[in-house]
Structure 1
Amino acid sequence: MPETIVVIYSGGMDSFTLLHRARAQGLAIHALSFDYGQRHRRELDCARSVCGELDIPHQVLDIRSLSSVMAGSALTGNTPVPEGHYAEDSMKSTVVPNRNMILLSLATGYAVTVDAAAVWYGAHGGDHAIYPDCRPEFVKRMDAVCRVANYQPVRIEAPYINSDKTAILAEGLAMGLDYSQTWTCYNGRERACGRCGSCQERLGAFANHGRPDPLPYEETD
């Protein structure tokens, strides 16, 4: 019998690649997405579509009622999304307070419910500069806690924790993945903005592979 895991699936390109990695390994997957009031809610539509196409069990958990304790981020409030690369200090405004600890805790509970051995999420090396909850020390400590938090130990794994966006994309391209099925932009408009840190990192990864990004972008100067 294949091992069962829960994949936290945002609908972005990292979790999209992660989902297919788990599928390629023959794991039994339960995909879990979260609606926490993010302005880039289009990623949830992508997640629903992909899981429907692949016939992967998928739940979208509405946690917008927690907005008052996850406030202050440009991703959930009215503050404009900053432009520029992740390394720039302005990108700290995109940190959602305690997001991954909350999401991983909920995903661990779901893992126990569906008898899954592990929770996978798409934290990667490019996130380390800005997001504390995507760093190796955080993953290590969450893994230790979730192994003892229930009668059934659940592992917390971030397979891309030492990879950057270019390396993740390389894996996906090798699998023949269609990245038009993902959404990355922190803005939720009709087209990706091309200016926010998330867009710039994505565009940089495609440029590093000499490939065009299949997503439509707003015209930029």
Structure 2
Amino acid sequence: MEKAVVLLSGGLDSCTCMAVAKSKGYDVYPISFNYHQRHSIELEGAKKIAAFYGVKRHLIIETNMDAIGGSALTDKKIEVPEGDTHRTDVPDTYVPARNLIFLSYAVGYAEVLGASHVYIGVNSVDYSGYPDCRPEFIQRFQELSDYATTATAVKGKHITIETPLQNLSKAEIVKLGVKLGAPYEFTHSCYKGGEKACGVCDSCKLRLEGFREAGVEDPIAYETRDI
């Protein structure tokens, strides 16, 4: 059975990615990150999702991205802004170079495992304008990865970066996950990190809109569901 590494944050998109990779028949190896994020509660969701799929190993990497700061998710001096699904600027919830760092870890892990695929739930339709979610970024990272690993440069094997959600709306992502039986009840998407999702940050608003447009009831608890 071919192996696939899945970046599993514990949120809606990464959970859907996990479901997609499983549906393709891969032996999945989820990797999560404790980067000292404000919403570290999502890691509990990631653990539950990994357990749901009965994985052999769930790797959790600790990296102190709060030492760099510069994001509302890692710097307590910066407030999480109220969500605006129509914003054109990059919000303060952007974590500098996060996906670049996470993908680098994931590709290294894939090389050690002998995995041929790395799944990441980046999306360029219903997202907050993060530069490291664009298809151009993934394309260039793929090219860089091909030069950076012995798997490709020496052994002639290819580690493919898979982005199955890249061109899907949030509603389409929800529909796909429901079809594949993704355990959305374990997911946590809120940037504020409370026991209940706030319902007003970017992530919550995008999620709620997606479920509403998909005609599906969101199974997690919210402080407010007004969008």
Deviation of 1:157 (Å): 2.0
Q: Give ranges in structure 2 of 5+ residues lacking alignment.
A: 153-158
Give the TM-score taking structure 1 as reference length: 0.92
Match of 1:60 in 2: 60
Match of 1:43 in 2: 42
Match of 2:223 in 1: 218
Match of 2:87 in 1: 88
The structure 1 residue matched to 2:209, chosen from 204, 217, 220, is 204
What is the identity, as a one-letter code, of the residue corresponding to 1:205? G
Deviation of 1:125 (Å): 2.2
Give the TM-score taking structure 2 as reference length: 0.90
Deviation of 1:91 (Å): 5.2
In the alignment, is the contact (CA less than 8 A) between 1:185 and 1:193 conserved in 2? yes
Partner Cα distance (1:122, 1:176) in 2? 17
Deviation of 1:90 (Å): 6.4
In the alignment, is the contact (CA less than 8 A) between 2:4 and 2:118 conserved in 1? yes
Q: Deviations over 1:44-102 (max 9, x none)?
A: 001111212322121110112x4323x11001111111112243256521111111111
Match of 2:100 in 1: 101
1:39/1:123 Cα in 2 relative to 1: closer, same or farther (>3 Å)?
A: same
Deviation of 1:183 (Å): 0.4
Match of 1:137 in 2: 136
Match of 1:149 in 2: 148
**1:169-208 map, 5 Å:** 169-208=174-213
Is residue 2:78 matched to residue 1:73? no
Partner Cα distance (2:129, 2:140) in 1? 18
Three-state SS of the structure 2 residue aligned to 1:203 is helix
1:47/1:163 Cα in 2 relative to 1: closer, same or farther (>3 Å)?
A: same
**Percent identity over paired residues:** 39
CA RMSD of aligned residues (A): 1.7
In the alignment, is the contact (CA less than 8 A) between 1:147 and 1:155 conserved in 2? no
Q: Give ranges in structure 1 of 5+ residues lacking alignment.
A: none
Q: Deviations over 1:101-134 (max 9, x none)?
A: 1111111111111111121100012356510000
Which structure has more RCO (C-alpha within 8 Å, separation ≥ 6)?
2
In the alignment, is the contact (CA less than 8 A) between 2:15 and 2:187 conserved in 1? yes
Alignment: residue pair count = 218
Deviation of 1:144 (Å): 0.8
Partner Cα distance (1:119, 1:200) in 2? 28
Q: Deviations over 1:159-186 (max 9, x none)?
A: 1111121111110111233311100110
Match of 1:114 in 2: 113
